[in-house]
Amino acid sequence: MPDDCLIYLVRHGATAHNLLDPPRMQGRHIDEPLTDSGQSQAAQVAAALAGKSLAAIYSSPLKRSMQTAEAIAKHHEMPVTAVEDLAEADVGKWEDRSWVDIEANDNAAYLAFREDPVANGYPGGENLRQVTDRVVAALNQVAANHLGQHIAVSAHSVVNRLYLGELLHVPIAMRRRLPQDNCNLNIIRWRAHKQSVITVNALDHLAR
């Protein structure tokens, strides 16, 4: 429809930090590239989108996201546009740490964050309202520029969860429960006054 923008929202492929057991947070300052398996995931989501009529491809400026977007772009012979406000959350002092480590060794801050991640954000970083506000503004502007078209957006776990949660009216403290696997596919139908989430965390395109 001419007043719609269809957004294919992807989480980037796997990095070394994602593949650790338990995984460690990268935030916006650890700028790792994709691993071999992450590149394979990116190729698979790119193949799933190869037949779509994309008008534009956007990405967080971080390497893991840009490399995923560039894999998609190869099928469409178009550039990737980096959007600074789609970068992952600044997780402050919790960068390069796992949730297991944080819960065990920084328990008071961990519990405060779980209870209210707006009042008690990432120590030394952003709170989830700040991240939500910048991400929603950035994606809404991008979508408004492409009414009647389809676009792909490559971003991050926290970024995607917060945007999807905003559209689904999920309280911020609960949005971490929204699944966002590496190189998943979310589909959003965007209108100026109404946004509909069609698909969350689709994984059928990935090899098992």
Q: What is the pLDDT of residues 114-160, one digit of tens each?
A: 999 999 999 999 999 999 999 999 999 999 999 999 999 999 999 99
Look at residue 39 in the predicted model and tell me its pLDDT: 98
105 is in an annotated binding site: no
The overall average pLDDT reported for the chain is: 97
Number of domains making up the chain: 1
Element (H, E) at 105: helix 99-105
Q: Mind listing the pLDDT tens digit for each residue in 62-108? A: 999 999 999 999 999 999 999 999 999 999 999 999 999 999 999 99
- The CATH code of the domain that includes 121 is 3.40.50.1240
65 domain-assigned: yes
208 domain-assigned: no
Say what percent of the chain tops pLDDT 70: 99
122 domain-assigned: yes
13 is in an annotated binding site: yes
12 is in an annotated binding site: yes
Strand stretches in 40-134, DSSP E: 54-59, 80-82
- One-letter identity of residue 167: L
Average pLDDT over residues 173-184: 97
112 is in an annotated binding site: no
Say what percent of the chain tops pLDDT 90: 97
The closest of 39, 83, 23 to 59, measured between CA atoms, is 83
76 domain-assigned: yes
Three-state secondary structure call for residue 163: helix
Query: Is the pLDDT confidence value at 1 over 70?
Result: no
173 is in an annotated binding site: no
10 domain-assigned: yes
> Which domain covers residue 163, as residue numbers?
5-202
Residue 192 pLDDT grade (very low, low, confident, very high; cuts 50, 70, 90): confident
**Is the model's pTM score more than 0.95?**
yes
